[in-house]
Structure 1
Amino acid sequence: MLQGKRTFLRPLAPDDIPIYQKWYNDQEVNYWANGAWPLSTMFNEEEIEERFFTPEKDNGRYIILNEEHKPIGTTGFRDINYPARSAVLFIIIGEKDFWGRGYGTDALKVLLDYLFFQWNFNRLSLDLWDGNFRAQKAYEKLGFKTEGRLRQARFVLGEYHDAILMGLLRDEYTQLPKY
């Protein structure tokens, strides 16, 4: 288990399927995480298990726990490019009581430390939709820089929005003052 100041990260377990189903089928969680609602389908437990919990789907996905070890979200990485030592990150705080309180920033810092210093990644990236200002502020606090925009790449509640692409290099991360 990986530990931050306020959060812990642990690998997925089969007992997490019901909480994943709750988060992935929650309109407000999906709105902020992906700008995506309605979903094309509401996932049942079997679909959640097939999508995230089968061995071939093990793509660096972790459960975020709070100080009391209660699951509050998920984070991880995908699209690994081994020669370039890079990957794409994602994070969702599924428990709304923990939004805007620094848990996502702390969990992402734990993941950044792990990937830069244990996995020896050189570059980590992520993307978000241009209406998610809270996430963008948290990413900037951790040193991510805006690298580009995909114009009208997201369709949110009947309107097109840009996707913002952000990246962080290990050298930049190690130069940041620790919060």
Structure 2
Amino acid sequence: MIRGEKVCLRPVRRSDLAILHERANEVDFEGEYNYFGLHRDQHLLSGFEADGLLGSEFGTLIVTTLNDQFIGSMSYHPVRYGPNIASSHYNIGISLDPEQRGKGYGVEAQQLLADYLFRIYPVGRVEATTDITNIPEQRALEKAGFTREGVLRQAQWRNGQMHDMVQYSKIRGE
């Protein structure tokens, strides 16, 4: 478990799968910026059985309060900017229950996950992207120590149209 001052990040437990499956199809939980359509039932089970959803190719962690109350989830996946392994980095994402947003939980969770990835994997950067209109998440990433790099024009298809995204990164040692 990764413990902060407000939140903890922990591996997915078998008992979490039901809530993750339920929330995956709830637009309110995913929010307008993370909803990409319906998921099939039990879509996480094979990944959980294979590696507990903590692989180097894709990982999911549960975000909880300090007393282990579920408040959301985070994920990470590799991105590559060249053919060699040293050009691999991680992109992170977060989904919080709507009533838990705006309390600083996302800021701390993103700091904790970036620090964890730098400790465990030989990557030079951790990045995150968010919709250009998602001002609360842009503020959260900046408070978490990420630097705004620029706009990725028409980079994401969501809700029937293309959206501009803002890219942020945190470099090892920052």
Structure 2 CA distance for aligned equivalents of residues 124 and 5 of structure 1? 21
Secondary structure of the 2:44 match is: helix
- The amino acid across from 1:53 in the alignment is F
Structure 1 CA distance for aligned equivalents of residues 43 and 59 of structure 2? 19
Name the counterpart of 1:154. Answer: 156
Structure 2 CA distance for aligned equivalents of residues 24 and 69 of structure 1? 20
Matched, 1:89 2:92: yes
What is the correspondence of 1:134-145 to structure 2 with a 5 Å cutoff? 134-145=136-147
Name the counterpart of 1:53. Answer: 48
Matched, 1:109 2:108: no
What is the correspondence of 1:116-127 to structure 2 with a 5 Å cutoff? 116-127=118-129
Structure 2: tracts of 5 or more residues without a match: none
Q: Which string of whole-angstrom CA distances, capped at 9 and with x for unpartnered residues, describes residues 108-127 of structure 1? A: 11112222234353211111
- The amino acid across from 2:121 in the alignment is W
What is the correspondence of 1:14-93 to structure 2 with a 5 Å cutoff? 14-34=14-34, 36=35, 39=37, 41-44=38-41, 46-50=42-46, 52-55=47-50, 58=55, 59-79=58-78, 82-84=85-87, 86-93=89-96
Q: Which of residues 154, 169, 172 is equivalent to 2:171?
A: 169
* TM-score where L is the length of structure 2: 0.82
RMSD of equivalent CA atoms: 2.3
Q: Which string of whole-angstrom CA distances, capped at 9 and with x for unpartnered residues, describes residues 14-57 of structure 1? A: 111111012211112323442x35x1x3432x22323x424166
Structure 1 CA distance for aligned equivalents of residues 137 and 32 of structure 2? 9
CA displacement at 1:169 relative to structure 2: 0.6
**Alpha carbons of structure 1 residues 92 and 33: separation in structure 2 relative to 1, 3 Å:** farther
Which runs of 4 or more aligned residues in structure 1 lie more than 4 Å from their structure 2 counterparts after TM superposition? 155-159
Q: Which string of whole-angstrom CA distances, capped at 9 and with x for unpartnered residues, describes residues 85-108 of structure 1? A: 621112111x22211111111111
* TM-score where L is the length of structure 1: 0.80
Secondary structure of the 2:77 match is: strand
Secondary structure of the 2:22 match is: helix
Name the counterpart of 1:177. Answer: none
Sequence identity percentage:
26
Q: Which string of whole-angstrom CA distances, capped at 9 and with x for unpartnered residues, describes residues 122-177 of structure 1? A: 21111111121111110011221222322223345455420122111123x2xxxx
